[in-house]
Structure 1
Amino acid sequence: MLCAEVSIYPQKTNNASQIITGAIQTLSQENIEYKVGSLSTHIDGNDDQVWTGIKKVFDEAKNSGEVSMVVTISNSAH
């Protein structure tokens, strides 16, 4: 079991909230647990689910231009 805290930071845009929301919504298409917080999104699942979720979020966000992503990954119980 893995868990990840993911934060997306769109660059050079006035639509950051829309980009972040769209990126997070890609997780609803996956069989993965996630919880949206005020500064980051917490993702829980097996290794493949979490890594796939992180990639989907980043791929969606980068479609809108330059983006930075901060991820903290843990395999410890939370």
Structure 2
Amino acid sequence: MANPLRAEVFRLYKNLLHLGREYPKGGDYFRDRLRASFLKNKGVADLQQIRELIGRGEYVCRELEALYYLRKYRAMKKRYYEE
């Protein structure tokens, strides 16, 4: 039986992989950690638990975006304002 959430999981993986390119420790580090976390949860078959894991992954996406925006804000502030 095919998993109805497979496309959503795949979309989440691709989105995280794209966001991980700018990760401070490097894209390779992020990609390895991402792959390990997805492989760890590979055997989950319960749809409710998969939805919870997808929610956690979307939370990580939002946190990464906030991290990147904060980094850009700090760089702009440093360039244009003297302390």
TM surpasses 0.5: no
TM-score (norm 1): 0.35
**For the pair shown, which has the larger CA radius of gyration, 1 or 2?**
2
Greater strand percent: which structure? 1
Greater helix percent: which structure? 2
